[in-house]
Amino acid sequence: MKPRAFLVDDEPLALRRLEQLLKEDGRVEVLGAASDPERASLEIELLAPDVLFLDIQMPGLTGFDLLGRLEREPLVIFTTAYDQYALRAFEHHSVDYLLKPIEREQLERALGKLERVLGGAEPRPEMRTLLKQISTALQAQPGAGRLERIPSRSGERVHFLELARITHFFAEDKLTFAATAEKKWVVDRTIAELEQKLDPARFVRVHRSTIVNLEYVDELYNWFGGRMMLRLKDAKKTEIAVSRERLKELKDRLGL
């Protein structure tokens, strides 16, 4: 009997690619897939799969949070955009992990290890211990959990934006946008969430609704009423108001 698998990833494009690769390989039966970790936790309890292919960084619940909710401990193959260094220490504790974008060779390696664990040739990982070890290691890494690129969904398509291309993030009409030279992209993060995840050496929040990429700051100047404005070195020469409570931090970061 084939191992039964359930897939969880908040990126629908990545989810569909993984499902297609697994079906082409044919060594596991895909019971279901979900991009919403809250819904996924309910389906996993109901379907009781043998193995989860599980993303780590997801909005709402992380992969670790989801596993902590489960009564039963399935085997887990992590699918993640984290750097290999953060997870390599746990190769001998987990079934395996797949770095996105997932390649066929990676998947074949992980499925081979899954077969050995299920067949008794390798020990079954103890998930509670594994969760504690991975969480501790990730928190200890400099810049742990920091974003390197950010997805923007448009219909059925997902674009991945490199942070170096983004001049600033801003909130408008209850949406958050990432601005690049070409256009503004809707992103599924709040300004507060971005402030926590972005590298503080590269990005600074200058207003409750705006985060700027310091590499694009061209000028800081006085404005009416004692206020300060930023001008970016983008094609539009974008001007951004700096709130008084954020001004000192900005000046410190600019070396003023």
Contact indicator for 101, 122 with CB cutoff of 8 Å: no
- pLDDT of the residue at 138: 53
Mean pLDDT of 93-110: 81
Contact indicator for 104, 21 with CB cutoff of 8 Å: yes
Q: Over the stretch 153-204, which tens digit does the pLDDT of each residue have?
A: 877 778 888 888 999 999 998 899 999 988 999 998 888 888 878 888 889 9
* CATH class assigned to 157-253: mainly beta
76 phi and psi angles, rounded to 5 deg = -135, 135
- pLDDT of the residue at 129: 64
Contacts of 220 (CB under 8 A, 6+ apart): 228, 229, 230, 231, 242, 250, 251, 254, 256
Domain boundaries, the chain: 4-140, 157-253
Q: Give the ranges where 32-140 is alpha helix by DSSP (H).
A: 37-47, 63-69, 84-88, 104-118, 127-140
* CATH architecture under which domain 4-140 falls: 3-Layer(aba) Sandwich (3.40)
Helix (H, G, I), strand (E, B) or coil at 83: coil
